[in-house]
Structure 1
Amino acid sequence: MKFVDEVRIYVKAGDGGNGAVSFRREKFIERGGPNGGDGGNGGSVLFVADPQLTTLLDFRYQQHHRAKNGENGMGSDCNGRGAEDMILKVPAGTLIRDTNTGDLLVDLSEPGQTFVAAKGGRGGLGNMNFATSTRQTPRFAQDGTKGEEITLTLELKLLADVGLLGFPNAGKSTFISRVSRARPKVADYPFTTLVPNLGMVQYKDNLSFVMADIPGIIEGASEGVGLGHQFLRHVERCKVLIHLIDLGAEGEGREPLKDFDILNRELEKYSAELSKKPQVVAANKVDLPYARERLEPFTEALRERGVAVFPVSTATGEGLQALMDVAAEVLFTGRTDKLRVEPPAKPAKKVAVAKVPAKKAAVKQAPAKKAPAKKASAKKVAVKKAPAKKAPVRKAPAKKAPARKVAAKKVPAKKKAAAAKKVPARRTPKAPVKAKRKQGRRS
């Protein structure tokens, strides 16, 4: 069955029936009065989510849907028959948008959910409804209203819990065929999967979940390369994403780490919310000899980023149970501890931080030692050169110094001589006076 996940359709609700203009005409009854009945209501267009459907293929070939109109009113107080509603079944997870405005009208994400896309017209009233005491013979009736019409865009997003991502031929179809009862096409060439596949996984303790396998994504998918990234809408509802890395990929520029970065960039270009979902990284095809050689460098590279890698082999079943346990833990409990590992680069960074200041100190001390040496040599040069230039300047004041000293000595000599002459003159008369006073006191 062909898979179709986006269509555009036109829906038209039924018109309401017109009211009747009629009068009672019977034998021996001259003026029976009005007896025109009302018109019936038109049918509405409803969408119902059906969990048994997985594609919009039916709407690809029939794009116009019109509900029936209501019947017109009749005489003898007979009302017209109302039309039945048109019910359109769509897969669960269908988005209904207004094509003209692009607005999202409803998301039919739950089975049995109903949405009225176009409401039917209301039937008109017959003339019997307009009879009054002053207007006993109304000769008019009311017409029915028109039903709504609208152009809609139906977009399908599969309801899956776990989504598989990866490059073409990475082993996604083989993986879903081993863990579920899905039987997608498996071949040894790229783009084997052209449409999404759903599989019911029966887990432990009577737990189950739905897994979705989408076509491969390559670099430039956001620009339309390959199958584009239009199928990524089917994993937007997933709570966990399993990223399969092809360790055995051959070709120019194909490396596991490069493939991992390319796919994450494409996810971010499509939707920032999708790129932030929990992602379980699985390194596939470890059963190949040359794939084992790529496993260790790829694991170490992601370990530095703090991302855990789970080696698996979809061909032999190696590591699948451990991978499913981690995916189920994230899905049912919401814990993502096992998806992260402690990067070994943290202690290395601490050692590097400790060494860097030591190097910086050594660099700082080296110029510190050389700087004084340069300054000392500069001073020595200055000291040696300064006296050579200032020698005659210092000798000149040396000659003037004795002249100043001689003048200084002559001045105090005159003062001392004058003082020496005055001191004996003052002291000579005082000595006998004191002696006489002493003698007089004694006598």
Structure 2
Amino acid sequence: MTHALTRDSVAHMLDPQAPAALVATLAADARRASQRLSRLSTEERRAGLRAAAAAIRAEADAILAANAVDLERAEGLSPALRDRLRLDGARVAAMADGVDAVAGLADPVGQVIDESVRPNGLALSRVRVPIGVIGIIYESRPNVTADAAALCVMAGNAVILRGGSEAAESNAAIHRAFAAGLEAAGLPAAAAQRVPTTDRAAVGAMLQAEGAIDLIVPRGGKSLVARVQAEARVPVLAHLDGINHVYVDGSADPAMAEQVVLDAKMRRTGICGAMETLLIDRAYAHAPALVAALAARGCAIRGDAAVQAMGHAAAEEVDWDTEYLDAIAAVALVDGLDGALVHIARHGSHHTDAIVAADPAIAERFLAEVDSAIVLWNASTQFADGGEFGLGAEIGIATGRLHARGPVALEGLTTYKWIGRGTGQVRG
């Protein structure tokens, strides 16, 4: 099949500045939209999101048809990545419900963080305000289109969405419905824009858009995040890979340990909260049974010498640093909590780590000393999710130390400003 080329598309192919011009136009429109959003009330923003959710439900058939095209083109993807890409009626309904859920969250905009009165009578307060224009660069999951747009708009920000080429048709269909819903409710459609090209140069243009885009949020694999961090001249809210550990202490209840480990790895292997490495205390008497239970669920085991002695494959050094996003787990026996802490510090990605233990002193030390955005005691790592934390949808799991950490939802998409109210005070 041949396609006619328009003058604009030819110009785009020939002009290396076209992506920069495209992003500049999107950013300028987004800036105007963000200024309009900042003047809207909470209820007006809620109404816009509810209309967007209704539009997604109304366009469910079109969204599923678009997703079918993406799945047909993505035959080479692994089962886990296809699962991230795949939509069905229940997932589209959940997507719309997620937008409605964000509309019902407490609005952080205008929240007074703290206030004081100085000795000279000057009244000071810190107040949450929108960040402005946010760029989201993401891969695979088309639901991010709706989740990210909803969170940004509810927090008073305009968003520019650049999804991966593997989900291009799905993202376009979801975005069309979302933007139409906003517009029907009287909000600017430019509050949620999509980069209408899969040209990788557009990503570079977003990363260089200093002053036009206020914050970049990458959601995807290690190569995407590495590129963003290497090239960005715009502040970045990093979401690194989820090399998540579960440590089973010698004091752990065997039934609980098996339940937590199987859920952490096998509930959904392709999400960032999935366990990738299982660490077992040498003092835990039920290690062979635990590893066997994981293997019986269809998980390929790559282990250290002790685990190999149980009849499983050998782990290479790279396995301890790999986010599989698949039914594969690296497994090692360690010398108690100290051994687990050393391993996690060396190989972890500061995302989510969990301990299964009956000894509260051991557990509390783990929670205090593991330097990750989320640490859990006797619970699956798959709880690393904004919805499970009561935050609604999330923009991602931030693994850095500045601005926001862990599931980033509405509050993480705001900044603050100082407001001073005086009665003529001067410093003299």
TM-score > 0.5, shorter chain as reference: no
Structure whose alpha-carbon radius of gyration is higher = 1
Q: TM-score range by the shorter chain?
A: under 0.3
Q: TM-score normalized by structure 1?
A: 0.22
**Larger helix share, 1 or 2:** 2
Q: TM-score normalized by structure 2?
A: 0.23
Higher relative contact order structure (alpha carbons within 8 Å, sequence separation ≥ 6): 2
